[in-house]
Amino acid sequence: MNLKTSMIQSTEKTDFIKWNPSYKTGIPVIDEQHEHLVNLCNDFYKNLLTNKGTDEYKKLVKETLDTCVKYAATHFQEEEKLMIASNFSGYNEHKHSHDVFKEKCQDTCFNIDDISVAEAIKFAKFLYEWIHNHIAHEDKLYIPTLKKFLQERASK
Ligand SMILES: [Fe+2]
């Protein structure tokens, strides 16, 4: 089953992104933030699928998307600080990936009042795929460097 199939099949009954132990980096502060980010992405998607047509719908969708995007930015700052402090060689590439994602999210947040539910769902799928791929692959690259740095810092 590919990513898209599993995502579509799981949307009605379960969380949009199922937290998977394989996402873990083994760095507690990062893992806690990743899990929280996944939960916020799920909140946004759940609000997108429920309460359609109610007065509160747009407000809830907007608020949950905004919370998710703001938290992602805070989390990226934390990661970037650690990557700089540990001299991670892939910092520039990783930061670029964060920046491109943030820009796309900010544009969507800005235009959320004018986009259709179908477009918002398309964006939610983009969020899911990006977060999934980033946590499962790109974030894994800094683990050895960050772990070594944090261990050395703790032993001083
Ligand atoms: Fe990252």
**pLDDT in 10s for each residue of the chain, 156 residues:** 333 433 444 444 457 778 888 889 999 999 999 999 999 999 999 888 887 777 788 888 889 999 999 999 999 999 999 999 999 999 999 999 999 999 999 888 888 888 888 888 889 999 989 998 999 999 999 999 999 999 999 998
Residue 105 placed within a domain:
yes
Tell me whether residue 57 is in a domain.
Answer: yes
Could you tell me if 84 and 113 are in contact, meaning their C-beta atoms sit under 8 angstroms apart? no
The answer to whether residue 94 sits within a structural domain is yes
6 part of a folded domain: no
CA 12 centroid distance within chain = 20
Determine, yes or no, domain membership for 34: yes
Residue 128 domain-assigned (yes or no): yes
- State pLDDT tens for residues 69-104: 999 999 999 999 999 999 999 999 999 999 999 999
Residue 102 lies in a domain: yes
Domains identified in the chain, total number: 1
pTM: predicted TM-score of the whole model, two decimal places: 0.85
Cα–Cα distance for residue pair 41/52, rounded to 1 Å: 18
CATH number for the domain harbouring residue 110: 1.20.120.50
The residue segments making up the domain with residue 46 are 27-154
Ligand 1 geometric centre to CA of 125 (Å): 18
Could you give the CA distance from residue 9 to residue 113 in angstroms, rounded to a whole number? Answer: 28
C-alpha of residue 59 to centroid of ligand 1, in Å: 29
pLDDT for res 14: 52
46 CB-near residues (< 8 Å, 6+ apart): 16
User: What is residue 99's predicted lDDT score, i.e. its pLDDT?
Assistant: 96
pLDDT on residue 79: 97
Tokens of 147: 């772990």
Ligand 1 centroid from CA 135, angstroms: 7
Q: Supply 52's token pair.
A: 């359609």
Q: How far is the CA of 80 from the centre of ligand 1 (A)?
A: 8
Residue entry with tokens 């949950």: 64
For residue 5, the CA-to-ligand 1 centroid distance in Å is 25
Q: Where are the alpha helices (DSSP H) in 11-116?
A: 28-49, 57-85, 91-111
Q: How far is the CA of 138 from the centre of ligand 1 (A)?
A: 7
- Confirm whether 16 is domain-assigned: no
The SS3 call for residue 123 is: helix
